Structure 1
Amino acid sequence: MQSALHADADGTAVPASSPFLTVDDPASYTAAVERFLADPSPAAVPVWTGGRPDLVASAGRAATVYAGVRRPAPHACGVLLSPGTLPAGLAALIEPLAEEWLDEKELAAVLSDGPGTRRRAPDEGEGPGDGTPTDGPRTTGAAESRPDAGPADGPGVRDTAKDDDTFEGGRDGGTVDAAGPAPARSLLVAGLYEHFTLDPLWTALLAAARADTPITFLTGRDAASLAWFTAKQYAGIAADVQRLGLYTSTDRPPAPAGIHLRDERDVESEDIRTEILGTRWRRVLFQGHGKDDSINLADFTVCGLNETAPRAPGLLGPACAYGPTCYKPMDKLIQLREVRAAEIVLSSCNNAPFADAAIYDPKFQLMLNAIDGTAKDVVAAVTIHDSDRVENRVWMDAALRGASSAPSLNAGISTVQPFPAYLHFGMAADDAGPLPEPPSVDPGPLLLTASARLTAYLAGGLLPPGNPLRPRLGKLAAKVEGLVTRRSLAVRDQTGTMRGLLDDLQSLDQAIAARIAEDPENEISDYPAHFGDRSRLDASSAARVLCHCGRPAERYTRRALVPTALDTECVVCPRCGDVSLRLPGAPTVRIHADDEVPQGGTLRVRLVVRGARTGPLRLGVHVPRYLRADCAVEPALHRIRVTPDEDRAAEFTLSLSAGTSPQAYYVTAYAVQDLAVTMARRHFGVVPA
């Protein structure tokens, strides 16, 4: 049931019953937290605003996104950075968010040991490492030996925050259960942004990625921000907040049903500011270029400025830090703090930098401004990354199935960089769905083979500018170059792409075969000599094989020295000479024919072939230039379907004139598949009639 609405001070519509209780006085806040943790069915979570009106306004806006109180499932382990800097009430509110709290110095060790493999005191029974309920979070280090440890030592054990407690009687009078058991391995790192530094967190982040350990962060520009962000972790998302959105100025991804997409065309033409600020979002992703202070969406700008935050002396700021206006249109600024969303994803580079690696003053930081706003979960990038359509695709899949955004995005970019870029700020307590499998961005072998052959034919001087095959080969080369990009391969179903490639290859195979039939001495037929002159023998490839004539022959491979040449495989017979020339991975051809044919007679030539893959193949034969006037070849070409593991045959007829000179001749067979030309030769003799 919807609560009655009233107008907040800033005009925002706010439910009459908010899940947040704002408190300005630190002592009152500490008392409110104690009551909250002791109450089995609290109506609201206390928020210490620290005298900041921006947080009061955010709490008002957030009341339209959240409904009721929900205790999040704790992480297996937690580390509080510089706990002495936090008020007692805030430390107490953070405490239930992890089952076991470790000293900051143990951060590296816990990632090596693996959180969830819980260390126990000798007199302690089984703990959450095996899923058994315990009496509550246990600390190690200094706080472990002193039951009265206060905020200077971080969270301690509290009887009011037992693992098997639930908060009942939410805002609407129903029961709001705990979010579920903690993951077997998970880590929470909490602390002020000034302690969110490269050392030790970058090493910890890399170690967590290697160990496949979920890691999330709670932070804020000051204790009040962190108190507000922590309070949001206890809020349940309103049932009617379901909208999923993606705004990008760099991509045109296909949008599945359920995703509100504005791509690079839409952000140029639509009033996305009104749309973004006027919608309550379950999740929304912003993708564009920018720095840690802003994301550009065409003329619109997602802005990280918190005008109420103090300026840090000596730190660099963006243009607005030194003048009265922004470098972008003021009427198109999207104040990130005012976006009403349960989760905000910032998909630009360096929008959540470590405090000692930031470009700009925290006053202008996007991630910190998002934390000051309504979002209980903020996914942001701690470094640069090459996110594009793959990551947009996998994020949309994750959003639709309720999976966690950060690991989904990091799985996508793992094919282009060896480190994670996205961090999850918040508990990720509402992300129960299975992680989507990123689309494979490995091009198929046929795509790479075609690309290599096209490059060698066009860039290595084999085909001169006037060769009639060049325009069509060039067009396919440009197409293939686009098909191997991550953006193209982000399409999960590559059936249409491969069908188009196969059609192009078959059409060009026909053109190549027809060109050889018309002019056997054309440039493409000279590829063995052209590539061979730019290659060297691979002695390890030499092997003894059998020639068409039944005598032993030698097979070997010449390895190309330059990327504009291809390897070639040769078979040489002491009697017949070079009886087979082909590219590795090309079809194989053997010629069967009589050794002699009389003048005016007919020589039947049978070709036995195997393809490099299952599919169509073009076959033809020709005779030397000096025999062509006296020899008719039928048919001009064959098109047969071949497989790599079964012989297929085709026959040609050589009809000789009565005036053919009696002597030795040879017939050349050629097979064309996937732009590769295999040539084989067999000698025969013409004898007097």
Structure 2
Amino acid sequence: MMSENKMFEVYDDSEEYIKKICLNSTKEIEKVPIFIGKKRKDLKSTIDNYFDDNIKRAPLFKTDAGLIISDEVTFYKKCSFFCEKWIHNLNEISDSKTLLIIGIYKDFSQEKVLDILEFCKEKEIEVFLLVGRDLPSLSWLIAKQFFYRESGKMSKAIFSHKNLSIFSEKAEKWDFFDIKKLEKQNIKNILEEEIWSELAFHGHGKEDHLNLADFTLHGYNRSLVRHESFAPSWGHRGQPFFKDETKAIRISSLNVDKLFLLSCSNFPFYDCRLYDTNFNLTLDAIDGFARNIIASTGVQSVDNPELDEILNDSNTENIGVRLHNKLNDIQPFVSIANIGLPNIFEKVNIKNTGQHAERLEAQTKIILSRLSSYVSSGMLSNEHPIKKLSRNILLDYSQLTRRGTYGTTKEEYSVFEQNLINRVNPLSKKIADIMMNNQSDELFEFDSYNIYRSELNKKSIKKEKCCCGCRGFECNYIPETQNLFNIQSHYCYKCGDKTAIMAGMPDIEFTCDEYDVERLKIHYKIQITPKSKGDVFLGVQLPTYVEKSVDTPSEIKKIRFKALKSKIVEGDVYFKEDTLLQSYYLKLFVIQNGGIGISRCFFNLVNNNKEK
């Protein structure tokens, strides 16, 4: 028995359906066949209501390769319009860019498809799924691929449990319903009364639901026969829906062309599901109006970087590859299912496989780690001003370091880093002031405090000639706990512990006269080569036991680096006539972006007879 409408022929007999769908080309299919049988009459109303003025007939997108995972639907191999070739194993798809998988949901299992999906993820092969809970559901999903909606005439919106103000500049193309709107507006009416081009749902959920503040998307189809007793709360006799049922929204009721379901496990593998399939959110969406559905297969880490990718380009032709590439920095497994075939009329850059998610710049991480170490290492007492200032900066910036919170582009992360550097510059100046005025301060113990709580990295040892001309060694120390500073040291047989700096600090060459060539005057030279932006503060000191014998006033010098090029600072230290003649050393401290470096150079006073 067959019934007809403007676009479809609906069959009760599977053999008649198979005969009709297996014609040689889509051009021979005047009206698209659908099989609903006797058990899926619930699909009939959706099919009858599918047509609207925006829907147009379109050629099918043809993939490079195709794979059937269910024995019941092997007849689709007779259809020439799905793919260029049908394959049987992974070796046959190595040269493909797109793969179509057709089957029944019971066969969408880890055992049957996970290895294939992992292989395709690694090779950046886009996988399209045509999967239904049964043959009627699958035939309906396939039928929808023969049509497309003119999206320019319809709205598209994103619903999220987050604050979406970061995307405000994209508001012209998308309507935004973030947590502020979700808490104030009747989302149920908004969703059910509109015809949508695209809807993206981003929130907490699992296979049976997705939360939108007080509202809930669900996929419970009460008309289907239950096969298992496993069910969420309202699937058990006498138990209510877990929230206000009047605010529950069945996803198949939404008149939408493309859906993004971006919470946890909205489309789990069959052997990973918790409940009977009657409750599955994505299966119910497949039974509804949606032509394309991008859904999560497991625990989901989608955040601002992925939302930005969708807002910039929601075309499904390579959305799986692009989202997986974005998620590669945080999620180690296949997590995106691309259900349905692309609309061939959508513009797409097939070479654009997406970029990795931008993360904190290297210097940002170094600065924040330093601040954290000042707070938690125990090196500074609780009342130390640097510990207090570091804590305040961390409190202000830590919330912004969450992935994608401050921004999603490299430019935005560069701005974030510059703002942090500007905030830390006064801290660096404060460190320099403290060290200049009090050589007994705890800050001077940064090297010994950390080195004696670290282990020498033997692979880092290098023989390096010291700037004094003697042989020396460079090495790094690995902290035994992560709240300590990484220290880089240079040892010299003459200068002793010549240099100790925190990792990421500028390279320092500090030299001085071997003796007072001019009477009681020592000339020094400092070469600083920065590795990052940020003002440098430096000071030259003598040991406390000889400080009072110096005629040169102490001062902190500030150097701005507009480019990462070396700069040289020179100066002279003059001693009083009654200074004890012997060997001394000059001590240099360099501060940048909250980091500390110390270097020493030795000299002799011999009271040369030349006049000052």
Fold match by TM threshold 0.5: yes
Give the equivalent residue in structure 1 for 2:559. 640
**1:405 and 2:319 are equivalent in the alignment:** yes
Q: Deviations over 1:395-446 (max 9, x none)?
A: 22222x6754333322222222222111112122445512463353343221
Q: State the 1:61 CA deviation.
A: 3.5
Q: State the 1:25 CA deviation.
A: 5.7
313-322 vs 450-459, greater mean Cα deviation: 313-322
Q: Deviations over 1:43-96 (max 9, x none)?
A: x4233333545322212442137523222022233233444468x8xx599653
Q: State the 1:660 CA deviation.
A: 4.0
Q: State the 1:589 CA deviation.
A: 3.5
Question: How many Å separate the matches in 1 of 2:471 and 2:125?
Answer: 61
Pairs within 5 Å for 1:223-302 = 223-238=135-150, 240-250=152-162, 252=164, 254-255=166-167, 256=170, 257-302=172-217
Q: Is contact 2:489-2:499 (8 Å) kept?
A: yes
Q: Deviations over 1:594-632 (max 9, x none)?
A: 623899x65554433222335431111122222333435
Question: How many Å separate the matches in 1 of 2:238 and 2:79?
Answer: 39
Q: State the 1:372 CA deviation.
A: 0.8
Change (3 A) 1:99 1:473: same
Question: How many Å separate the matches in 2 of 1:544 and 1:684?
Answer: 23
User: 498, 503, 521: which is aligned to 1:579?
Assistant: 498
Question: How many Å separate the matches in 2 of 1:646 and 1:520?
Answer: 30
Give the equivalent residue in structure 1 for 2:271. 356
Question: How many Å separate the matches in 2 of 1:556 and 1:31?
Answer: 76
Query: What is the TM-score when the length of structure 1 is the normalising length?
Result: 0.78
Pairs within 5 Å for 1:278-677 = 278-323=193-238, 325-399=240-314, 404-430=318-344, 432-434=347-349, 435=352, 437-479=354-396, 481-488=398-405, 491-492=408-409, 493=411, 494-547=413-466, 549-587=468-506, 588-593=508-513, 595-596=515-516, 603-634=522-553, 636-642=555-561, 646-677=565-596
Change (3 A) 1:101 1:436: closer
Change (3 A) 1:645 1:409: closer
Q: Is contact 1:440-1:489 (8 Å) kept?
A: no
The aligned amino acid for 1:48 is F
Q: Is contact 2:128-2:339 (8 Å) kept?
A: yes
Q: Is contact 2:425-2:592 (8 Å) kept?
A: yes
Q: Is contact 1:543-1:555 (8 Å) kept?
A: yes
Q: Deviations over 1:196-247 (max 9, x none)?
A: 3332122222222233322222122222222211111111323544432211
413-422 vs 647-656, greater mean Cα deviation: 647-656
Q: Is contact 1:65-1:238 (8 Å) kept?
A: no
Pairs within 5 Å for 1:73-84 = 73-84=61-72
Q: State the 1:382 CA deviation.
A: 2.0
Change (3 A) 1:645 1:345: closer
Question: How many Å separate the matches in 1 of 2:436 and 2:29?
Answer: 86
Question: How many Å separate the matches in 2 of 1:436 and 1:81?
Answer: 26
Give the equivalent residue in structure 2 for 1:62. 50
Helix, strand or coil at the partner of 1:410? helix
Q: State the 1:532 CA deviation.
A: 1.9
User: 14, 20, 33: which is aligned to 1:46?
Assistant: 33
Change (3 A) 1:538 1:341: closer
Question: How many Å separate the matches in 2 of 1:30 and 1:98?
Answer: 18
Give the equivalent residue in structure 2 for 1:682. 601
Q: Is contact 1:65-1:280 (8 Å) kept?
A: no
**1:222 and 2:129 are equivalent in the alignment:** no
The aligned amino acid for 1:428 is P
Q: Deviations over 1:563-618 (max 9, x none)?
A: 2333433334444433322234322131324623899x655544332223354311
Q: Deviations over 1:106-140 (max 9, x none)?
A: 2xx2x22217x6xxxxxxxxxxxxxxxxxxxxxxx
Question: How many Å separate the matches in 1 of 2:460 and 2:407?
Answer: 38
Q: Is contact 2:151-2:197 (8 Å) kept?
A: no
Q: Is contact 1:188-1:215 (8 Å) kept?
A: yes
Q: Is contact 1:440-1:490 (8 Å) kept?
A: no
Q: State the 1:364 CA deviation.
A: 0.9
Question: How many Å separate the matches in 1 of 2:271 and 2:497?
Answer: 68
Give the equivalent residue in structure 2 for 1:191. 103
Helix, strand or coil at the partner of 2:540? strand
Change (3 A) 1:334 1:579: same
The aligned amino acid for 1:264 is I
Question: How many Å separate the matches in 2 of 1:500 and 1:596?
Answer: 45
Q: Tell me the percent identity.
A: 21
- Cα RMSD for the two superposed structures: 3.2
Unaligned runs of 5+ in 1: 1-15, 118-183
Q: Deviations over 1:470-492 (max 9, x none)?
A: 11112333455445432337521
Q: Is contact 1:293-1:318 (8 Å) kept?
A: no
Helix, strand or coil at the partner of 1:191? strand
Q: Is contact 1:76-1:185 (8 Å) kept?
A: yes
